[in-house]
């Protein structure tokens, strides 16, 4: 779960780029990276200001990976590439964000982010440089700026529809509205351009450009193993990785200068990854069946059995099999259940129904039925505001009014299940970590998995080591395995439910 329900240090994402809304002056200039004439509504100083503001939001909502050596490493690679760009004078900032998704993104003003998920899947600095070069390309070509100009309108619309959005099944996306402007799709042209610029910077920086194609392969493999609807961001915002791989491969082959040698040393890269967190961090919430556990926030919640659950950046929720009902938990940024409830019911079109409960499993709570007029008709539901550990949790269950009789009991039962998490086995969960192993001799991946057991499937092990499942790991090269992070066996209590 993301910023709202992640960790205490995180806070909700406000619309990060509101500053851009004030911008009205259009300028037309030749872009030094692309050589094209470009209309921009945003001046360079405004671009920097937007970047600074959005950077703070990224740090607050996604969070930075708390390892200074790796942060410095990422910054150093980025600076080395950006120095060869057409905008070397920007105050370039490169950050490693604490996100298990395999992703990278850039925002205006020279801010580039790579996720720990991405770094953990790659196998050399040259690969990482390839991704960072591509993102630098989006900044130098000012794709990020034009994207944000387009995003402003959308953002205003999202603010208005904040609590009750008609498309029930999309509540997770709604919850991410604040940051979604950062992940808008670039055009295919923009992607090609960023690939070309990335290749230019990587080559000028002395890196071997060939591993660029391996990055696309890894991204495709990750994408193939992800559950439906969970395509890694870098892919979902970047069309056709296969085509891009072929095209960039041809461009690399056509280079007239011999390839650089920088960044090819896998051992050097992998050593830096030893002990790095891998995959989702269960301390930030995880599901077992339909029960959600949040060790850091110390609560447990049973979503209706058989519903499709999802742990999103700013919300955790579940959708009925027919996608006509939702139960979703977010954090209300208010001091008490009473204030949060009053604010909820002060929204236009929201009517308060009868009081429903005064406490939930001993936790102070305010709960009411409600009805809400939306563009798609009337919704009915239950709204509970629960105080726990100094935070107020907002739990909503809702459905179109016509389906209410079918779901009211199910929702009431779910809302009633919010309770303190006290089981030590759950409170003490740890994330999985990468362990770098020096192989005494060549061995098949299967043998490696037997001799050095991992807590991820063989398929994942194959992807992070860039070999086929039936492939062989070379002698004298370090290999990645994944250790720890096992979740407790489900408690008898949760099974009984
Ligand atoms: Zn891109």
pLDDT tens-digit profile, the chain (497 residues): 332 343 333 333 333 333 333 333 344 567 777 777 665 556 778 888 878 888 887 887 788 999 999 999 999 999 999 999 999 999 999 999 998 888 888 888 899 999 999 999 999 999 999 999 999 999 999 886 665 554 443 333 333 223 333 333 333 333 333 344 444 567 778 888 999 999 999 999 999 999 999 998 998 888 888 754 445 555 555 566 778 889 999 999 999 988 899 999 999 999 999 999 999 999 989 999 999 999 999 999 999 999 988 876 678 888 899 888 999 998 888 899 999 999 999 888 889 998 876 799 999 999 999 998 877 788 899 999 999 999 999 999 999 999 999 999 999 999 999 999 999 999 999 999 999 999 999 999 999 999 999 999 999 999 999 999 999 999 988 999 999 999 998 655 544 44
- Residue 277 CB: number of other CB atoms within 10 A? 21
> 197 C-alpha vs ligand 1 centroid, how far in Å?
11
The SS3 assignment for 7 reads coil
Paired strand residues for 97: 64, 115
> 219 C-alpha vs ligand 1 centroid, how far in Å?
13
Q: Are 60 and 13 in contact (CB under 8 A)?
A: yes
> 138 C-alpha vs ligand 1 centroid, how far in Å?
7
Q: Are 462 and 468 in contact (CB under 8 A)?
A: yes
Distance between CA 32 and CA 453 in Å, rounded? 51
> 279 C-alpha vs ligand 1 centroid, how far in Å?
23
pLDDT, position 165: 32
Q: Are 5 and 294 in contact (CB under 8 A)?
A: yes
> 186 C-alpha vs ligand 1 centroid, how far in Å?
7
Q: Are 125 and 272 in contact (CB under 8 A)?
A: no
> 323 C-alpha vs ligand 1 centroid, how far in Å?
32
pLDDT, position 35: 74
- Closest Cα to residue 379, out of 408, 354, 357? 408
> 485 C-alpha vs ligand 1 centroid, how far in Å?
32
Q: How far is CA 204 from CA 132, 184, 367, 487, in A?
A: 14, 29, 61, 46
> 432 C-alpha vs ligand 1 centroid, how far in Å?
29
pLDDT, position 257: 86
Strands 111-115, 104-107: pairing kind: antiparallel
Take residue 458 and report the two structure tokens written for it.
């063989």
pLDDT, position 327: 92
> 247 C-alpha vs ligand 1 centroid, how far in Å?
15
> 309 C-alpha vs ligand 1 centroid, how far in Å?
30
CA dihedral in degrees (341, 344, 346, 347; nearest 10)? -170
> 143 C-alpha vs ligand 1 centroid, how far in Å?
9
Take residue 351 and report the two structure tokens written for it.
């009517």
> What single string gives the DSSP state of each residue in 456-484?
S-HHHHHHHTTS-TT-EEPTTSEEEEEE-
CA dihedral in degrees (123, 124, 130, 135; nearest 10)? 70
> 433 C-alpha vs ligand 1 centroid, how far in Å?
28
> 266 C-alpha vs ligand 1 centroid, how far in Å?
25
Long-range contacts for 92-96 (Cβ within 8 Å, ≥24 apart)? 92/136, 93/55, 94/132, 95/55, 95/58, 95/59, 95/64, 95/71, 96/64, 96/65, 96/67, 96/70, 96/71
> 489 C-alpha vs ligand 1 centroid, how far in Å?
41
> 263 C-alpha vs ligand 1 centroid, how far in Å?
21
> 134 C-alpha vs ligand 1 centroid, how far in Å?
6
- Closest Cα to residue 65, out of 93, 100, 92? 100
> 67 C-alpha vs ligand 1 centroid, how far in Å?
26
The SS3 assignment for 114 reads strand
**Element at 135 (helix H, strand E):** helix 125-140
What region, left, alpha or beta, does residue 371 occupy, with left being phi > 0 and alpha being psi -120 to 50 degrees? beta
> 131 C-alpha vs ligand 1 centroid, how far in Å?
9
* Alpha helix positions (H), 141-240: 143-160, 171-175, 177-180, 188-204, 211-225, 233-236
pLDDT, position 494: 45
> 238 C-alpha vs ligand 1 centroid, how far in Å?
6
pLDDT, position 48: 84
> 191 C-alpha vs ligand 1 centroid, how far in Å?
5
Long-range contacts for 218-227 (Cβ within 8 Å, ≥24 apart)? 218/121, 218/122, 218/127, 218/463, 218/466, 219/102, 221/462, 221/463, 222/102, 222/121, 222/463, 225/459, 225/460, 225/463
- Closest Cα to residue 472, out of 456, 448, 436? 448
> 38 C-alpha vs ligand 1 centroid, how far in Å?
18
> 68 C-alpha vs ligand 1 centroid, how far in Å?
26
pLDDT, position 10: 34
> 194 C-alpha vs ligand 1 centroid, how far in Å?
6
- Residue 239 CB: number of other CB atoms within 10 A? 14
> 171 C-alpha vs ligand 1 centroid, how far in Å?
26
> 187 C-alpha vs ligand 1 centroid, how far in Å?
9
> 133 C-alpha vs ligand 1 centroid, how far in Å?
10
Q: Are 266 and 477 in contact (CB under 8 A)?
A: yes
> 245 C-alpha vs ligand 1 centroid, how far in Å?
13
> 449 C-alpha vs ligand 1 centroid, how far in Å?
34
Take residue 182 and report the two structure tokens written for it.
């950062």
> 24 C-alpha vs ligand 1 centroid, how far in Å?
26
> 175 C-alpha vs ligand 1 centroid, how far in Å?
23
């Amino acid at each position: 779960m993301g910023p709202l329900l992640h960790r205490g240090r995180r806070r909700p994402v406000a619309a990060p780029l509101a500053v851009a809304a004030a911008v009205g002056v259009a300028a037309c200039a030749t872009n030094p990276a692309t050589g094209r004439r470009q209309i921009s509504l945003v001046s360079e100083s405004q671009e920097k200001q937007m970047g600074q503001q959005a950077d703070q939001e990224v740090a607050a909502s996604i969070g930075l990976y708390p390892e200074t050596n790796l942060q410095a490493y990422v910054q150093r690679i980025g600076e080395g590439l950006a120095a060869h760009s057409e905008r070397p004078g920007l105050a370039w900032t490169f950050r490693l964000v604490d996100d298990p998704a395999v992703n990278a993104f850039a925002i205006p003003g020279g801010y580039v982010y790579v996720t720990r998920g991405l770094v953990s899947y790659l196998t050399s600095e040259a690969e990482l440089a390839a991704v960072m070069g591509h993102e630098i390309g989006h900044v130098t070509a000012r794709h990020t700026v034009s994207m944000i100009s387009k995003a402003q309108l959308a953002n205003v619309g999202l603010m208005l529809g904040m609590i009750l959005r008609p498309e029930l099944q999309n509540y997770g996306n709604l919850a991410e509205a604040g940051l979604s402007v950062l992940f808008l799709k670039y055009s295919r042209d923009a992607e090609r351009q960023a690939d070309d610029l990335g290749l230019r910077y990587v080559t000028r920086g002395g890196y071997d450009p060939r591993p660029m194609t391996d990055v696309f392969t890894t991204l495709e493999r990750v994408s193939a193993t992800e559950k439906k609807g969970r395509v890694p961001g870098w892919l979902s915002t970047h069309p056709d990785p296969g085509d891009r791989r072929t095209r960039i491969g041809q461009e690399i082959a056509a280079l007239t200068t011999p390839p650089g040698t920088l960044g090819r040393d896998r051992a050097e890269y992998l050593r830096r990854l030893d002990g790095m967190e891998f995959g989702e961090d269960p301390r930030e919430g995880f599901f077992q069946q339909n029960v959600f556990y949040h060790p850091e926030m110390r609560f447990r919640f049973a979503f209706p059995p058989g519903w499709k659950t999802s742990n999103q950046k700013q919300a955790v929720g579940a959708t009925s099999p027919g996608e006509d009902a939702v139960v979703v938990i977010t954090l209300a940024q208010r001091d008490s259940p009473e204030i949060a409830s009053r604010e909820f019911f002060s929204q236009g079109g929201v009517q308060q129904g009868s009081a429903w409960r005064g406490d939930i499993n001993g936790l102070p709570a305010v709960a009411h039925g409600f009805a809400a007029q939306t563009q798609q008709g009337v919704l009915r539901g239950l709204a509970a505001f629960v105080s726990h550990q100094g935070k107020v949790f907002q739990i909503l269950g809702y459905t179109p009014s016509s389906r209410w009789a079918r779901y009211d009991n199910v929702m009431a039962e779910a809302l009633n299940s919010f309770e303190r998490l006290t089981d030590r086995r759950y409170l003490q969960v740890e994330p999985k970590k990468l362990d770098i192993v020096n192989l005494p001799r060549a061995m098949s991946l299967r043998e490696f998995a037997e001799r050095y057991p991992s807590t991820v499937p063989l398929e994942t092990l194959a992807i992070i080591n860039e070999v086929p499942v039936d492939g062989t790991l070379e002698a004298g090269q370090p290999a990645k395995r994944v250790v720890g992070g096992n979740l407790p066996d489900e408690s008898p209590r949760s099974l009984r439910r």
